Amino acid sequence: MAYTTVAAVKKILQTAESDTSLDAEITDALPTGDAYVFNLLKADGLAVPTPVPQSVSDAAAHFDAWMVRRRRDPTGAEAFYVEATRLLEAYAKAEIEPYVGSA
């Protein structure tokens, strides 16, 4: 199950849903974005639950947008990566239980 959709990525890229010029490229990026999210969460000892939380879905969509945009505009694409990382870090921080005995 994909963490996000082509439509969500198109919205981030500010591409009309009716514009199909990037559909194949976005579709190809979805599994890679999902794997990236999965591995980053796994490194924190977390897994992606079902249903996928909105913040995880948004992070995956931003990672996908980053992958699509960086082929044409590596510098401009960085904003998508930064936002994806911010969203995923916020989710991970909220999910990680505090260490027992810590203040």
How does pLDDT run across 61-99, given as a tens digit for each residue?
A: 999 999 999 999 999 999 999 999 999 999 999 888 665
pLDDT at 100: 57
How does pLDDT run across 19-66, given as a tens digit for each residue?
A: 999 999 999 999 999 999 999 999 999 999 999 999 999 999 999 999
CA 30 to CA 23: how far, in whole Å? 11
pLDDT at 103: 52
What residue spans define the domains of the chain?
Answer: 6-95
Q: Say whether pLDDT at 10 is over 60.
A: yes
CA 103 to CA 93: how far, in whole Å? 16
* Of 64, 75, 57, residue with least CA distance to 13: 64
| pTM of structure | 0.90
CB 29 within 8 A of CB 60: no
CB atoms within 10 A of CB 50: 7
CA 71 to CA 74: how far, in whole Å? 6
The end-to-end CA distance of the chain, in Å, is 38
pLDDT at 49: 93
pLDDT at 41: 95
